[in-house]
Structure 1
């Protein structure tokens, strides 16, 4: 089994494939000003197994297109939609976020929790703007420095893994340069990382290793995840996901 297949196997059964919470999604919905509007069309890009997707469908009068490049995650989403009674309001779509088959100005809002890094924050902001109606909402969570200075081990790690990590001020400026007006921001709390993502993942490690025959590749993935968890636990004051809510401005 290759590394991608192993990562899918590790994360497929998780409620979330990255830090977040239903409460943070609801707060972003509140800040977006979308509540009370009828017949919304929303794209949730990089939705994974659909934790945020389901919140959007419950909170808003909306049809949600749930986009992920991995069909295995969308299969889990479909099963969870049936149980939640939301199947008629959410349309899964297996496609890369770099090749979205959407009409220009077709959506009232675009959501992406913890996934825009796959294309890069500014590249994603630039590419997805055209799919929003004038005044449409972009809501994304993105790895963000919480302070101007931080421990070297943290900076070194994330500059290797995701060089586009930056402060909220820098991310806001990128939004403004690319035709958006920021209307809300908040950093995710430690519970979004530890209680909702890291601890449940750690609880799956033993079964994951057993399913995969304690292979060297599976052990390497667990070791890498444990290393990232330890890094976060030591440095939670300095880094998180920032949740950015912005409105498309101009033509």
Structure 2
């Protein structure tokens, strides 16, 4: 088996995604609970609409998750593993809208703590659960899932071979992988940083589309439907850059700046510019385990 994420890599990721806790000493969950309280919401009884601003930390938001779920033709009887689940938004969406049972896994402990709280606050603890683990070594049982779901997480995973090997172990025969991922574009110039997944190159492990598909093929995953959705993602990001520059600063409900900090607006602009310059592209697809 290939090496899994090192303790150093795990610390780098935690430092990136939970940077505000390091600076302030206040946990992510404490900050978010206080923000919901200040917005006039009960932090222990929230709606999915109220938490949408902090639980869909990927390009396209809920629309992108719905598009991936439709492409993957999810069924209510399926067991789904949400890899790199973050604060659990896609897990809750798949549980409520597709009727699946979902387990989310993420290496960032603060995200798992928040995901568990938000599922309890939205009444979804019976249909979602969350595990803090390295995606390449989860300790979940063999053949426990019908579907692997992964949105904007592979670019934080240095050991792609180990991750795909783990997916093969976790899937039932003929199981499927659903991806909505950032890949390297054709422009070889350096990324404008910071971006939401990386402040420095230390946390960015982008692969090109072709390299990703080769890795999947070598691991025994056969493409079913794959499409480039960069233009849709760019339009969404452009809209949100305008919103973040104006209306969002007065928004009532908590948004991603509470997770990423004051740099979030710059991260969003850089991501827009990287997309527009073809330094990154967005891939959506379904693969089946041969």
**Distance of aligned partners of 1:78 and 1:196 in 2 relative to their CA distance in 1, 3 Å threshold:** farther
Q: Which runs of 5+ in 1 are unaligned?
A: 212-217
The corresponding residue for 1:170 is 211
* C-alpha deviation, 1:181, in angstroms: 0.7
Deviating more after overlay: 152-161 vs 53-62:
152-161
**Distance of aligned partners of 1:34 and 1:16 in 2 relative to their CA distance in 1, 3 Å threshold:** closer
TM-score (norm 1): 0.73
**Matched residue SS, 1:87:** coil
Superposed CA RMSD in Å reads 3.7
Tell whether the 8 Å contact from 2:226 to 2:286 is kept in structure 1 after alignment: yes
The corresponding residue for 1:34 is 74
**Distance of aligned partners of 1:199 and 1:151 in 2 relative to their CA distance in 1, 3 Å threshold:** farther
The corresponding residue for 1:190 is 234
After superposition, what is the alpha-carbon deviation per residue over 1:72-129, rounded to whole angstroms, capped at 9, x for unaligned? 3233223332343322111122223233011222210111211223323444223322
**Matched residue SS, 2:191:** helix
**Distance of aligned partners of 1:155 and 1:168 in 2 relative to their CA distance in 1, 3 Å threshold:** farther
Whole-angstrom CA distance in 2 between matches of 1:162 and 1:110: 22
Whole-angstrom CA distance in 1 between matches of 2:126 and 2:212: 35
**Distance of aligned partners of 1:163 and 1:16 in 2 relative to their CA distance in 1, 3 Å threshold:** closer
**Matched residue SS, 2:101:** strand
**Matched residue SS, 1:245:** strand
Alignment map for 1:148-159 (pairs within 5 Å): 148=186, 150=187, 152-154=189-191
2:120 to 82, 87, 98: 82
Alignment map for 1:199-238 (pairs within 5 Å): 222=262, 228-237=267-276, 238=278
The corresponding residue for 1:127 is 166
1:15 to 51, 55, 66: 55
Q: Which runs of 5+ in 2 are unaligned?
A: 1-13, 22-26, 33-53
* C-alpha deviation, 1:55, in angstroms: 1.3
* C-alpha deviation, 1:50, in angstroms: 1.1
Tell whether the 8 Å contact from 1:19 to 1:197 is kept in structure 2 after alignment: no
TM-score (norm 2): 0.65
The corresponding residue for 2:180 is 141
Tell whether the 8 Å contact from 1:16 to 1:196 is kept in structure 2 after alignment: no
**Distance of aligned partners of 1:128 and 1:7 in 2 relative to their CA distance in 1, 3 Å threshold:** farther
Whole-angstrom CA distance in 2 between matches of 1:166 and 1:119: 10
**Distance of aligned partners of 1:6 and 1:241 in 2 relative to their CA distance in 1, 3 Å threshold:** same
The corresponding residue for 2:94 is 56
**Distance of aligned partners of 1:194 and 1:78 in 2 relative to their CA distance in 1, 3 Å threshold:** farther
**Matched residue SS, 1:19:** coil
Higher strand share: 1
**Matched residue SS, 1:236:** helix
2:287 to 236, 246, 249: 246
